[in-house]
Amino acid sequence: MTETLPAPSARHAPGDGAAVELVHLRKEFGEVVAVDAVDLVIRHGEFFSMLGPSGSGKTTVLRMIAGFEVPTAGAVLLEGRDVSHLAPYDRDVNTVFQDYALFPHMDVGQNVEYGLRVKGVGRAERRRRATEALASVRLADFQRRRPSQLSGGQRQRVALARALVNRPKVLLLDEPLGALDLKLREEMQVELKAIQHEVGITFVFVTHDQHEALSMSDRVAVFNRGLIEQVGTPLEIYEHPATAFVAGFVGTTNLLSGDAARAVLGRDVVATIRPERIRMIAPGAAVAADAIRCRGTVFEVLYLGAETRFVVALDAGGRLLVSRPNTSDHTDAAPGSAVVLSWREDDVRLISDPTTTSATTRGNP
């Protein structure tokens, strides 16, 4: 089904802060609705992440911004201009993919110059701009090396330089760190953010990794089933999740509802509390007079290096996950230990959708 595209939105004009605007964007693949009426504004100079699980629609949105997919309905605006039906090469964007797609028979400098050569840019200008782009990603001395002589992180930076050399208004990054090991991925998160700050252009980053999104982004859009569930800063997304899905997908959390919420909170609500916000003490120890508290038994202990997580079975029913840093004054609580859990009332966040019926843990255990 194809619908008539709406007129470009008048809410944002070039230069007023909107680098990318999506207006009621929809994409269908046969009977499958991959993206459903998404509205979004990405500001100039932002490091903006689209976060969500596989199949949530984030990559399809990125491909529509890039021009690799045509919307079924709605519009993609770049600086106020409707580009929904323009080819990728007619848009002032570039894309960095997970597999980097470097030419193995070319050296680093030739790889970075390639797009300029296709556009007919002269040799001297190509080399000057390629040298600048490689310097911006800290690879100025690597021009004569082949991709096979580089590490995974270096190849990723070459792909980034090749995209930056065209001086796009918007750089699209499709899970570019996914092929790297954990340590290198964490190092490249710092590098990418620093590079984006230096070059000052808009980065639109797609990832399923919550830690990548939280550590690098100015703002994050959390996708689920073709829709955006919440847009906000990393702090807002983590500390004030709008839905149970956001609370569970971004970090690890405890959800309380039904009988457990009534027993523990005294209210028939759906609420979330992060494991690190819960204090775990021995029965009889002092608890602040205004603290919310409940009794339970340690069911399982998970040692994770920097922290230990405790699964506590509540006397009132259900389980809560408690996280404590492994500091020098850390006291162990073995499985079977009776404990008291307490937290402040403002550590509890009420959320809008009652998707559970008991105390549960969401996210990575």
The 10s digit of each residue's pLDDT in 5-38 is 333 333 333 345 699 999 999 999 999 999 999 9
Give backbone dihedrals phi and psi of 195, rounded to 5 degrees, phi first: -65, -45
Percentages (nearest 5) of helix, strand, coil residues in the chain: 30, 30, 40
The 10s digit of each residue's pLDDT in 146-160 is 999 998 888 888 988
Edge-to-edge strands of the sheet including 73-78? 32-43, 18-29, 73-78, 81-82
pLDDT at 362 > cutoff 70? no
Domain boundaries in the chain?
Answer: 18-243, 247-362
* CATH fold group of domain 18-243: Rossmann fold (3.40.50)
Distances (CA, A) of 297 to 73, 274, 286, 336: 54, 19, 18, 6
Say how many CA atoms lie within 13 Å of 179 toward its Cβ: 14
To the question of pTM greater than 0.75 for the whole model, the response is yes
Residues 6+ apart with CB under 8 A from 346: none
* CATH fold group of domain 247-362: OB fold (Dihydrolipoamide Acetyltransferase, E2P) (2.40.50)
In the block, residue with structure tokens 């470097």: 102
The 10s digit of each residue's pLDDT in 182-201 is 887 888 888 888 889 888 89
* Mean pLDDT, the chain, whole residue set: 86
Least trusted range by pLDDT, from 85-99, 249-263, 307-321: 249-263
Count the neighbouring beta carbons within 10 Å of the beta carbon of residue 326.
12
User: Residue 308's beta-bridge partner residues?
Assistant: 303, 324
